[in-house]
C-alpha cells in the first residue's frame, strides 16, 4: 500500500496458518497486526521492539519475515544502521496470545564483541541482504575484505541465546510447515 508514491509499511501474510492473511503494519507511527474476524479488521498483536518495514520516507527500514527455527511460522529479523533484533513466533494457548514473544537477539550498534545481525538496510536501501541455505547473506562494498567477499550468519547464530531450544511442535505448526514445504516449487512431496 502506497500513499503519494510512498510505501506505508503494510503487508499481508497468513501468520496463523488458517488460510486467511493477516494485515501487518510496521511504519514510524504504527507497529501492529490486524486480523479479519466477523466481517471486520480487528487489532490482534503488537509488533516487537519498534521494528518497521519502512521509515518515515517510505524507504526500506530493514524488517524481514523468515522462519528461522523451523517451526513453519514466520519469525522477524530486523536490522538497520542503529539497532537489530530477532524475534520468534510462538503460537498461543489458553493463557498466552500468539506472537513474536521470544527475543532471540536484540541490541544497538556499535556492538563491539557482541553477537549482532549485519545491517540489512543502509540509508533506506537494501544493503545486499538475502536468505539462502539457512543463512542471512550480506554482500556489498564493505564485505570485499571478508572471505568469499560476503558476511554470512547462520540461522543458528541469528537465534542467539535460544539456538538450542527446539521450536514448539504442535499439530498446527507441523501442518503449517508441511503446507509451506509442499507449496514450494521443486519441493519433495509436491504433487
pTM, rounded to two decimals: 0.82
pLDDT at 167: 60
Contact criterion met (CB below 8 Å) for 136 and 128:
no
Pairing of strands 125-126, 129-132: unpaired
Cα 184–136–31 angle (5° rounding)?
85
- The CA distance from 170 to 127, in Å, is 36
d(CA 54, CA 176): 28
CA angle 169-89-97, nearest 5°? 90
**Does residue 56 or residue 116 have the better pLDDT?**
56
Query: Grid coordinates standing for 124?
Result: 533506506
Is pLDDT above 70 for 116? yes
pLDDT at 151: 92
- Tens of pLDDT along 119-148? 999 999 999 999 999 999 999 998 889 989
| pLDDT at position 49 over 70 | yes
DSSP conformational letter for 166 = P
CB 25 within 8 A of CB 41: no
**Rounded distance, CA 35 to CA 57, Å?**
26
Percent of the chain with pLDDT over 90: 60
Q: Which helix (H) or strand (E) holds 183?
A: helix 171-183
Amino acid at each position: 500500500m502506497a500513499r503519494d508514491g510512498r510505501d506505508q509499511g503494510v503487508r499481508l501474510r497468513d501468520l496463523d496458518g488458517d488460510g486467511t492473511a493477516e494485515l501487518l503494519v510496521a511504519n514510524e507511527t504504527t507497529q501492529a497486526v490486524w486480523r479479519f474476524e466477523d466481517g471486520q479488521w480487528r487489532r490482534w498483536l503488537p509488533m516487537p521492539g519498534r521494528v518497521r518495514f519502512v521509515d518515515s520516507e517510505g524507504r526500506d527500514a530493514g524488517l524481514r519475515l523468515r522462519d528461522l527455527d523451523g517451526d513453519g511460522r514466520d519469525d522477524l529479523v530486523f536490522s538497520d544502521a542503529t539497532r537489530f533484533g530477532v524475534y520468534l513466533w510462538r503460537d498461543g494457548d489458553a493463557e498466552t496470545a500468539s506472537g513474536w514473544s521470544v527475543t532471540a537477539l536484540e541490541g544497538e550498534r556499535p556492538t563491539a564483541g557482541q553477537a549482532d545481525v549485519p545491517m540489512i538496510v543502509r540509508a533506506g536501501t537494501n544493503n545486499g541482504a538475502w536468505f539462502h541455505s539457512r543463512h542471512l547473506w550480506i554482500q556489498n562494498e564493505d564485505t570485499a575484505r571478508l572471505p568469499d567477499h560476503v558476511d554470512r550468519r547462520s540461522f543458528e547464530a541469528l537465534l542467539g541465546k535460544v539456538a538450542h531450544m527446539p521450536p514448539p511442535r504442535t499439530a498446527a505448526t507441523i501442518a503449517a510447515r508441511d503446507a509451506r514445504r509442499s507449496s514450494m516449487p521443486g519441493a519433495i512431496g509436491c504433487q
